[in-house]
Amino acid sequence: MVSQVPLLVVVGYVWPEPNSSAAGYRMLSLLKLYLAQGWQVVFASAAEPGMHRYPLAELGVIEQQIALNDSSFDNWITALNPQAVLFDRFMLEEQFGWRVEQACPEALRILDMEDCHALRAAREQCAKTTAALDAAALNSELALREIAAIYRCDITLVISSYEMQLLQQHYQVPAALLCYCPFLLEQEPTPNRLKFDQREHFVAIGNFRHAPNWHAVLWLKQQIWPLIRARLPQAQLHIYGAYPPPKATALHNVRDGFLVKGWAEDACVVMEQARVCLAPLAFGAGLKGKLLDAMRCGTPSVTTDIGAEGMQPDGASVQADNPDQRLWAGIIANDAKGIAEAAVKLYQQPELWSRCQQQGYAIVTEKFMLAAHQTRLWQQLEQVRQQLELHRQHNFTGLMLRHHAYRSTKFMGQWIEAKNRLGASTAAEPDAVPAPEAN
């Protein structure tokens, strides 16, 4: 394909599902960012298309199914010769980075972290063992892989201001390799939502395939919701999320007001009908799309320090004991009793509820509007692309890692390809590569 305009190729972990996960919404906003600058965009993925995938063709994005460990990708991307390639999560850079460098070495290589996988995994492990999050937990094998991918790329998009700080201070990643890119909303929130007395019940929402969300559902079921229900016997908790497994639907209990409703076609419709959003996240990373939706819809939330991380106004503290003084669109608490008490308070106090609603609108306007970030984002991306060779020479660690790591991943990929071809030639079924799990 010959292109008369700059071309971006996105190598996707999954096909975007903006109504199923925050990752899908974020990817869609990045595609629109490039489209708005007049670029042509191709989205390629080796994953199986999900039932809720977004119709990218309606945006003018070209879709391409690709294969893992197959040289057909090399021929395909060589013919395209894109000006930029974006890897959706570090695992895709490991799979395809060396192929992109070999086929189109002058293309800008962008990594979108989505969130810091190493941080999320370390927190999950610490939650299981009740251990403290320390340097040993953060310096895991997963971290070595993820930070190496950051160095091998020319620029990395980081969604959370907290993770920008973590990458620079703990992992010592140079600031020149990082670009702060939070959620990017095109429209400001509209305050004329349903009022306090027009709403009822609680809502929790999140993709069931994402471990922090499933843990939150269990925490609600086993500890938090019984405390709330004892104080508000008529209240219900409506739980939404894509891909609910049988173990999740089995938690549905009408008598207890614990209603597992599965996928929501429009998260904002169900969010704006609820009085309070519950997001008791014991671990995780990045920014929480469910809390952004809650703020956009004027629904105050109860969440944890981890849930609010990177989403509070600049200079806000999550340590204050008085919830009315916290700069959050609701109340922050970190144990079952505190979360339940906060939920009841928000549910019963209209004045507090209204103040938290207004704070949510202010946070969205301050931190997550496309207009506030677009110019800075685009200038940084284009500056790196226009000075690519000089930029790479200043990243000696990246040069070194590409020299060594790409050799090993290249040979591994070629070995798997040869093995699969041998299997096919002897009528044996080749190794199947499962579709990646949605975030």
Q: Phi, psi at residue 369, to the nearest 5°?
A: -90, 135
pLDDT computed for residue 95 by the predictor: 94
The domains of the chain are located at 7-186+371-425, 196-367
**What is the model's pTM?**
0.89
Q: Mean pLDDT across the stretch 302-312? A: 96
User: Per mean pLDDT, which range of 158-172, 309-323, 345-359 is the poorest?
Assistant: 309-323
One fold for 7-186+371-425 and 196-367: yes
Segment 400-411, tens digit of pLDDT: 998 876 566 666
pLDDT score of 408? 62
Angle, helices 336-348/350-367, rounded to nearest 10 degrees: 100
pLDDT score for 1 = 45
CA 381 to chain centre: 20
Please tell us whether the domain made up of 7-186+371-425 is placed in CATH 3.40.50.2000.
Answer: yes
Q: Quick check: 421 pLDDT over 80?
A: no
Confidence of residue 424 (pLDDT cuts 50, 70, 90): low
Please check the confidence at residue 2 and state whether its pLDDT lies above 90: no
Of 11, 372, 12, 380, nearest to 184 (Cα)?
372
In CATH terms, the fold of domain 196-367 is Rossmann fold (3.40.50)
The beta strands (E) that lie in 116-244 are given as 155-158, 178-180, 202-205, 237-240
The answer to whether 198 touches 297, Cβ cutoff 8 Å, is no
Residue range 116-146, pLDDT digits in tens: 999 999 999 999 998 889 999 999 999 999 9
pLDDT interval class at 316 (50, 70, 90): low
d(CA 27, CA 16): 7
d(CA 313, CA 299): 17
Mean pLDDT, rounded, of the chain: 90
